[in-house]
Chains A and B, each alone.
Chain A
Amino acid sequence: MRYLMMQKAGGAEPDARLYADMAAFVEELTASGVLLATGGLDPAGFKMTSVGDEITVTDGPFTEAKEAIAGFALIEVRSREEAIELGRRFRTIVGDGESMIHQVYGP
């Protein structure tokens, strides 16, 4: 089953050690076939609202910096517990903060 893990911004400033640890973690997940896609997000973004036929586009940012989603990873695992374990390992690498994890419905 697939899970989308979204990381909120904030936490410690990244240093060289964090980059190395993250690279090793990503490499390990890729090698074991778990990581399908990953990416960072522009914290600002823009918003689209529809009312009737009218579409409004508003430029961001909208939330406090530490509430914004800063990055995502799409993983394919065998169970919810596996997703939790990988999330735990990710959090121990990046330090204090918050992740949102949603199961992706589908195949």
Chain B
Amino acid sequence: MTDLSATVGVVWKQESARIVAGLLRLVHDVGLAEELAQDAVVAALQQWPVTGIPDNPGAWLTTTAKRRAVDHIRRSRTRERLAPDLARAPEPTGDDVLRLMFTSCHPVLPTEARVALTLRVVAGLSPAEIARAFLVSEQVIGQRIAAAKRTLAEAGVAYQPSAQLSSVLEVVYLIFNEGYAATSGSDLIRADLCLEALRLGRMLAVLAPDQAEVHGLVALMEIQQSRSAARTGPAGEPIPLHEQNRGRWDQLLIRRGFAAMLRAREAGGPIGPYVLQAAIAVCHVAEDTDWVRISALYQTLERLLPTPVVRLNRAVAVAFAHGPQAGLDLLDELRADPQMADYHLLPGVRGDLLVRLGHPTQARHELQRAASLARNTAERDFLLRRAAALDVPEEPGRLLGPAVAEFLAPRSPATARAYGQTLHRIARLAGERTPLADLTPTRLTEIVALSWPDVSPRTWNRHVAAIRSFTAWSGDPSLAATLRPRPLPTADPGGPASGPGRGAAAMSDRPAAGGASGAPALRERVLWCLLRESAAKVGAVLALNVEDLDLDDRSARDKTIVWRSGTARLLPELIAGRTRGPLFLSERRPGPGRPPAAADLCPETGRRRLSYERAAYLCKRMTGHTLDRLRAV
């Protein structure tokens, strides 16, 4: 005999999508629909021990939940005449479930919320189960789901089948990939996500049978899932597709994938990205892989989805179809893509192609670099083993990683930390085991540009200084010859950005804070001048808002703060057209973690009010005096 509460839980999982979907038609609010359905579950837990489990428990829950919904509507509106119609509301249909999926995948929600809400209301998983699968706390998932329901209710989108099918497909595939990207071993729970996504996809294929992309997605997932047993070795190391033991592929899932592909073809319509990816997956199942056809399919896919990963896969296909050099040429174009800078598969694939081209020394270097970027130990060990298997002598001369360590060792801790941030990143991206002699100025410039595309000139110059200092030490200063410092902006927050280069955009919305060198920035000069001339308390001055000021009268806040000509000369420049909000602003916009009070946030620039601590620090650093001392001078 089984535990009754376990049975109720199971029935809920199997039926919740239909039940919630049917209720959604009545109450138009996902959160409320789910609450009413849960009420029915509670009723089941009370009644089934007495009456026994009904023959069709799902139908029982549906009817009970519907009655609760009708009661609820009767109570909340007093429009009695509507009630008889509601009582006769039809059984939930496939359309209802489809509408529920569109709602939970609605684009007004952030992606994470779409995933969590879909797993909750469509797949019937508990917040604890979702949390375990995504390796976050249950509380986080609970909050995410609650916020999603609130957003949907506020946006009033719960009952419009308005979202795009592509958004639903995206969420399902995201869930699948979340499970698929985790390798086996201790991650068995995450593998469940693949099955959950498959279940959602199969459901969707029945609900929207005339959509080719739905069948394409199902085909893609079935075929990818068919390889799950073969894609990792005994120690959890990844096995490349063409080296997998085909005997371990799940033929049942492959056949189901093929069947879904046929249905996609029958549905017709323009070919979308999922059908294309499934077509590629189908090619890989064939005994002799047709690489020419795969590379052609990737070319079409790249037009629809020009992502770096698709381009990388295309390069692999081209290398198999038209030779390693052709693939390598495509890869070289990808090296300048910032999204690929940290992606271990790029050097991994380069390494493979270099082996096939007969350049084992370079290949080993690329494989080692890939290993240093790999995200899990199984993959890292695998890459290192492949690198070690290449029979080439150890490179002579100094290697980048050890050289950086040697360079940093004698520095003071503060310098080593500051320089280390820059140099370790470069060593990581270039490969720790790159011989220094192999590093060219072009490659160095490329890595620096990839690493710090949008930094302020000050930060840029810090990185450049660290690199120059290192190259000078290593005996080859010409390496960094093309890396030039950028001019710092003038201390004029209102004026146009003057610095050239890519840092200019980031700089223009940031007033110069006045560094250790040069004159203090405008903001500090106004603050100190105002403190001296008014002798007001520091807190009161920092609390000033633009709308408090009477520039003509040289006073603020009902004449409690009065200033003289020095401040009056500088003030208009500092205000620079602003009409409200804090007068003294901090350099940065607040991060999402600690939102300031509304009164401390400038509505025009989005920056927060300058804090007492920061003002005190700046003053101390620049003048050696405290702010209070300034006031008294």
Residues on the A chain within 8 Å of B192, using CB: 78
Question: Chain B 570-590, CB within 8 Å of chain A: the 1/0 string?
Answer: 000000000000000000000
Question: Chain B 33-69, CB within 8 Å of chain A: the 1/0 string?
Answer: 0000000000000000000010111000000000000
Are B201 and A33 in touch, CB under 8 angstroms?
Answer: yes
User: CA separation between A33 and B204, bound complex, in Å?
Assistant: 9
Are A106 and B14 in touch, CB under 8 angstroms?
Answer: no
**A85 close to B (CB within 8 Å):** yes
Q: Which residues of chain A in 6-37 are interfacial with respect to chain B, using CB atoms and an 8 Å cutoff?
A: 30-34, 36-37
**B252 close to A (CB within 8 Å):** yes
Are A85 and B203 in touch, CB under 8 angstroms?
Answer: no
User: CA separation between A89 and B55, bound complex, in Å?
Assistant: 7
- Classify the interface of chain A: helix, strand, loop or mixed: mixed
Residues on the A chain within 8 Å of B271, using CB: none
B178 to chain A, nearest CB (A): 16
**B256 close to A (CB within 8 Å):** yes
**A50 close to B (CB within 8 Å):** no
**With A31-B206, A107-B250: A81-B6 Cβ-Cβ less than 8 Å:** yes
**A49 close to B (CB within 8 Å):** no
B256 to chain A, nearest CB (A): 7
Residues on the A chain within 8 Å of B6, using CB: 81
Are B229 and A107 in touch, CB under 8 angstroms?
Answer: yes
Are A88 and B53 in touch, CB under 8 angstroms?
Answer: yes
Are A33 and B198 in touch, CB under 8 angstroms?
Answer: yes
**B310 close to A (CB within 8 Å):** no
Residues on the B chain within 8 Å of A34, using CB: 199
The closest CB in chain B to the CB of A76 belongs to B195
Q: Which residues of chain A in 54-78 are interfacial with respect to chain B, using CB atoms and an 8 Å cutoff?
A: 74, 76, 78
User: CA separation between A34 and B200, bound complex, in Å?
Assistant: 10
**B186 close to A (CB within 8 Å):** no
* Other-chain contact of A81, B2, B57, B200, B228 (Cβ < 8 Å): B2
**B28 close to A (CB within 8 Å):** no
Are A82 and B195 in touch, CB under 8 angstroms?
Answer: no
User: CA separation between A4 and B91, bound complex, in Å?
Assistant: 31
B226 to chain A, nearest CB (A): 9
Are A78 and B55 in touch, CB under 8 angstroms?
Answer: no
Residues on the A chain within 8 Å of B195, using CB: 76, 78
User: CA separation between A88 and B10, bound complex, in Å?
Assistant: 12
User: CA separation between A81 and B533, bound complex, in Å?
Assistant: 79
Are A32 and B202 in touch, CB under 8 angstroms?
Answer: yes
**B245 close to A (CB within 8 Å):** no
Are B199 and A33 in touch, CB under 8 angstroms?
Answer: yes
**B9 close to A (CB within 8 Å):** yes
The closest CB in chain B to the CB of A31 belongs to B206
Question: Chain B 248-270, CB within 8 Å of chain A: the 1/0 string?
Answer: 00101000100000000000000
Extra contacts, 16 of them, besides A78-B195, A81-B2, A107-B225 (Cβ < 8 A), are A31-B202, A31-B203, A31-B207, A32-B14, A32-B203, A33-B203, A76-B195, A78-B192, A81-B3, A81-B7, A81-B9, A81-B10, A85-B11, A89-B55, A89-B56, A107-B250
List 7 A-B pairs, minimum CB-CB distance, nearest first.
Answer: A33-B202, A33-B199, A31-B206, A107-B229, A81-B10, A85-B10, A81-B6
27 contacts between A and B (CB under 8 A): A30-B202, A30-B206, A31-B94, A31-B202, A31-B203, A31-B206, A32-B199, A33-B198, A33-B202, A34-B199, A76-B199, A78-B192, A78-B195, A79-B10, A81-B9, A82-B14, A84-B10, A85-B7, A85-B10, A85-B11, A85-B14, A85-B57, A88-B53, A89-B55, A92-B55, A106-B250, A107-B225
